Structure 1
């Protein structure tokens, strides 16, 4: 039989727990309002109601944190909401089941990162693991605001001390402080914007808080090797003991290709008869097949690699692990940098140098974009300023044509000794005799 009595502080306080089970004392004033006496001695206020033919029970406050009077007032509010057709537990269930940032990260990685290049996907995973997940943790997708996005990107732009590990084993590294990373902040912002674009598409929220995030100023690195530096680099490569790594660097310089494209090149990609290299979509940054002509010098390297003793190996530069290409050449490049005295030059700067040499040879920006495999013209525009020299030569030619010709002027005393015609006071031109 249902236990009913008007709930008071005394009733709730004196209710004794029953061993082995919980029980309720229902209030006589508000329908469905009760206090539940737990077997362990705890007490909480509940509201029983029916919604869509189902019996439901909502627990909304514990005693003594909630007084009986406050609980009864809340029960009346909930009862009015129920009588109007609402379901108080539906909101709580929806909140409990609402997607969180961790859910968004998981689905984003499953549906989006699988279509990206391997290095790009790994880089985005690193951003989510190091920045996004730690900052927002278990926040709901709907809870993240544009303010939260700005705070996150500000923190990323400030940089962090290197290295990441707490106890570096190098004193110089221990003393190395944080370095601002505005470019990294922009890349994280792009990832966040893309993630929330998917959230909007999936109906997880109505707007994108990262849309139009504040971009930090980026200063593109512009480092081009001079003719003297190119000569020193060539000399250092000629004297290198690791001929395989040296040829990788040479191919980067001769073709303008990215080092990853060169490392993963296969013999079948080259047509030595027509001097061309067809890069498969799996190795290019733009994820498209990229066919480019190569010079005879680059073809010589390919022929030399064909003669190397690697039976059945498809890779132009096979690695130490059987069946895989060379994985990295950074240690080799460090040695070459010192030997050639170009320690501020990255391997990727060889690609910029290749483009600068094309410009000096009269190539157009469109031609450079095609050779480098740029998918957007704005990427090639970074080399536009290198075309100032031929343009300046044209401007100088116009100035030279417009400049008045020099005239020979004679003194009166020596005019008779000159061979140039002159005018006499009478206006008649005479020649020297």
Structure 2
């Protein structure tokens, strides 16, 4: 036991190294808590330590290397540690847990592999997490993330793409739910965070979905139906748009229609093509719908005479084996004036 002193001529500077192993000098200063001292190794290293007992187990916590840590600072840290120990905490166990705790980027990789892999929307989900969330807070320990950290990421996204920001918030919340389930966190920092909490200058409720109140009137529907095949659109694109109108199904579902999905008057849209719904859906095909399909097949037969590759079975086939895309339908609607009437955007 010794009263540790700092400085060039102090006990710490002059403490001799053992021939092997390590030796301990415990501090007798009145400001030093019991168990506080200096460890000296055979290699000459010196560090402040705190020895303590918790639940009957003897433990030793390294506070820091000397002279990086001054004697005064180390004593203050030791007193803080003793207060935590007296309340039931174990600094060594806390440090072990802290070291084992993942970074946000590690949590994200784990959650994506567990909950996004194989989903139809996997690419989009990975984009929100890997391109927006991880670059901003990926280096933080999971327990260091604060509600405000994620709000700032979502608000930055909302300035450019409000609807995408709403999805980003949704997936971030689900990811931190997973962290809570894995016991990395006592509670989700995003629990109860609503889209209305996101603020963007000049925009009121930027994540609030836009309500589509505008519908086509009879005159507009008639103009569309009579002009869609003669306005310059590709014939198959025109037929696909007609089928969207008469069936009321999503453009993407109509665009990907396959011969194998049609049995008589019933069109069965498989679950894997229905996005979030993830359930198959049967659609009754009216006489008008069947006429549109017959016209589309006739156009396919005409085009097939010019192609060397066989058909892939799609009704609205842009090229052998590939159907027209939803994006292509939307672009077609925007480019041709006969469809470019107020309120008509190609969305269902």
TM-score bracket relative to the smaller structure: 0.7 to 0.9
Post-superposition offset of 1:269: 0.9
Select the residue among 31, 40, 65 that pairs with 1:62. Answer: 65
CA RMSD across the alignment: 3.9
Tell me if 1:342 matches 2:341: yes
User: Contact 1:12–1:35 (CA<8 Å) still a contact in 2?
Assistant: no
Indicate how the Cα distance of structure 1 residues 59 and 123 shifts in structure 2: closer, same or farther if over 3 A, else same. Answer: same
User: Contact 1:141–1:204 (CA<8 Å) still a contact in 2?
Assistant: yes
Mapped to 2, the partners of 1:83 and 1:226 lie a distance apart of 76
Which position in structure 2 is the counterpart of 1:269? 261
Indicate how the Cα distance of structure 1 residues 340 and 33 shifts in structure 2: closer, same or farther if over 3 A, else same. Answer: same
Mapped to 2, the partners of 1:38 and 1:227 lie a distance apart of 93
Which position in structure 2 is the counterpart of 1:316? 315
Post-superposition offset of 1:152: 4.2
User: Contact 1:33–1:75 (CA<8 Å) still a contact in 2?
Assistant: no
Which position in structure 1 is the counterpart of 2:269? 279
Select the residue among 161, 167, 190 that pairs with 1:210. Answer: 190
Mapped to 1, the partners of 2:210 and 2:323 lie a distance apart of 34
Mapped to 2, the partners of 1:223 and 1:196 lie a distance apart of 38
Indicate how the Cα distance of structure 1 residues 232 and 244 shifts in structure 2: closer, same or farther if over 3 A, else same. Answer: same
Tell me if 1:34 matches 2:33: no
Mapped to 2, the partners of 1:291 and 1:143 lie a distance apart of 48
Which position in structure 1 is the counterpart of 2:92? 89
Give the match's secondary structure for 1:212: coil
Indicate how the Cα distance of structure 1 residues 11 and 229 shifts in structure 2: closer, same or farther if over 3 A, else same. Answer: same
Mapped to 1, the partners of 2:153 and 2:237 lie a distance apart of 40
What does residue range 370-381 of structure 1 map to in structure 2 within 5 Å? Answer: none
Give the match's secondary structure for 1:221: coil
Mapped to 2, the partners of 1:249 and 1:7 lie a distance apart of 86
User: Contact 1:35–1:45 (CA<8 Å) still a contact in 2?
Assistant: yes
- Give the TM-score taking structure 2 as reference length: 0.73
What does residue range 117-136 of structure 1 map to in structure 2 within 5 Å? Answer: 118=120, 120-136=121-137
Which position in structure 2 is the counterpart of 1:259? 251
What does residue range 51-200 of structure 1 map to in structure 2 within 5 Å? Answer: 58-72=61-75, 74-75=77-78, 87-114=90-117, 116=119, 118=120, 120-157=121-158, 159-160=159-160, 182-200=162-180
User: Contact 1:46–1:59 (CA<8 Å) still a contact in 2?
Assistant: yes
Give the match's secondary structure for 1:277: strand
Which position in structure 1 is the counterpart of 2:235? 243
Select the residue among 259, 280, 284 that pairs with 1:289. Answer: 280
Q: Which has the higher contact order (CA 8 A, sep 6+)?
A: 2
Which position in structure 1 is the counterpart of 2:332? 332
Mapped to 1, the partners of 2:261 and 2:154 lie a distance apart of 42
Task: Give the count of matched residue pairs.
Answer: 316
- Give the TM-score taking structure 1 as reference length: 0.60
Mapped to 1, the partners of 2:177 and 2:81 lie a distance apart of 37
Mapped to 1, the partners of 2:297 and 2:25 lie a distance apart of 91
Post-superposition offset of 1:220: 0.9
Which position in structure 2 is the counterpart of 1:229? 220
Q: Which moved more, 1:277-286 or 1:55-64?
A: 55-64
Mapped to 2, the partners of 1:303 and 1:297 lie a distance apart of 10
Which position in structure 2 is the counterpart of 1:379? none
User: Contact 2:37–2:48 (CA<8 Å) still a contact in 1?
Assistant: yes
Give the match's secondary structure for 2:232: coil
Mapped to 2, the partners of 1:333 and 1:22 lie a distance apart of 82
Deviations 1:182-232 (A, max 9, x none): 544433332233223333333332333323323334431233223333333
Post-superposition offset of 1:38: 9.3
Give the match's secondary structure for 1:230: helix
Q: Which moved more, 1:24-33 or 1:311-320?
A: 24-33
User: Contact 2:253–2:273 (CA<8 Å) still a contact in 1?
Assistant: yes
Indicate how the Cα distance of structure 1 residues 222 and 84 shifts in structure 2: closer, same or farther if over 3 A, else same. Answer: closer
Unaligned runs of 5+ in 2: 28-33, 197-204
User: Contact 1:108–1:195 (CA<8 Å) still a contact in 2?
Assistant: yes
